[in-house]
Amino acid sequence: MAAARASLSTWKFDTALFDFDGTIMDTNGLIIESWKHTVRALTGREITLDEIRGTLGEVIAYSMARIMPEIDPAVAVATYREYQSDRYLKGIRLFDGVAETLAALRGLHGLPGQSGRTGQPGRTGQQGSGVKTGLVTSRLANSTYKALDHFGIRQYFDVILTVEDCTKFKPDPEPILLALERLGAAPERTIYLGDTVHDILASKAAGVFTVLADWSVALPPEKRAGAPAADLVIKHMDDLLELFR
């Protein structure tokens, strides 16, 4: 675990929030190939890896409008999603240690808990023991839940927020703040694990402790100079457990 930029002695955590793409789920290869296909099909040019990196963590329609301003974003998004439609579950995987770490967080007791409120979108109804957990993603709900169910990890999240649940999106803090509200969690007792600049900016604006996944494709070590700095960089998923002991 890399050294924290803020003293851990001043933090006491009981809540963990996670990004989806590139953080708990390795969708990187599929996303890269989908971008290459879409830009090539609609413009005839080859998109660079750095251009694709700049889109990771962003709402896809915004990225399409920025990368291909001459193309109707709706057409671009449809082309991208059509390419992924029969490749999605075959083209993604959980990062190492994700399921085990989520299960371990569920097993940590003696932490403040709160019974879940019912009838709210984005709640899984599992809250009440161990560390409170949430998933905050700019991905559509359908593909998010499909992957969580396929890999058997949906039950580990008390709250799941997708792009359809918010009016503003990362790097705006709204999605994280909404997750905190639904969890009954305090920002100063919460960590957020992500892999992009959007994640870092959103979590800092929300006042939570910012953790960067060292396995990030969007923000690899050679690209971090000059980028907003996370409070902590972890090498392995199970490094998170040390923050809750």
Q: Cα angle vertex 59, ends 219, 175, to 5°? A: 90
Below-70 pLDDT ranges, the chain? 1-9, 109-129
Over its C-alpha atoms, the chain yields an Rg (Å, rounded) of 18
**61 & 172 share domain:** no
State phi, psi for 216 to the nearest 5 degrees.
-60, 130
Q: What pLDDT does residue 137 have? A: 97
Q: What pLDDT does residue 3 have? A: 45
**33 & 16 share domain:** no
**71 & 170 share domain:** no
CATH assignment at residue 71: 1.10.150
**189 & 221 share domain:** yes
C-alpha 225/C-alpha 217 separation (Å) is 15
C-alpha 225/C-alpha 43 separation (Å) is 32
pTM score: 0.88
Q: Is residue 1 part of a domain?
A: no
Among 167, 223, 166, residue whose Cα is nearest residue 200: 223
Q: Is residue 214 part of a domain?
A: yes
Three-state SS at 61: helix
Look up the domain containing 214 and give its range: 8-27+92-244
Q: What pLDDT does residue 118 have? A: 29
Q: What pLDDT does residue 170 have? A: 95
Q: Is residue 226 part of a domain?
A: yes
Last residue of a domain, one of 90, 105, 130: 90
Q: pLDDT tens digit string along 95-146?
A: 999 999 999 998 875 444 433 322 344 545 444 468 999 999 999 999 999 9
**166 & 235 share domain:** yes
Q: How many domains does the chain have?
A: 2
**220 & 115 share domain:** yes
**133 & 221 share domain:** yes
Q: Which residue type, as a one-letter code, is found at position 11?
A: W
Q: Name the pairing type of β-strands 15-18 and 132-136.
A: parallel
Q: Which residue type, as a one-letter code, is found at position 231?
A: D
Q: Do 226 and 205 meet the contact criterion of CB atoms below 8 Å apart?
A: no
**45 & 154 share domain:** no
Q: Is residue 12 part of a domain?
A: yes
C-alpha 135/C-alpha 17 separation (Å) is 6
C-alpha 46/C-alpha 41 separation (Å) is 10
Q: What pLDDT does residue 101 have? A: 97
Last residue of a domain, one of 90, 121, 138: 90
Q: What pLDDT does residue 31 have? A: 97
CATH assignment at residue 129: 3.40.50.1000
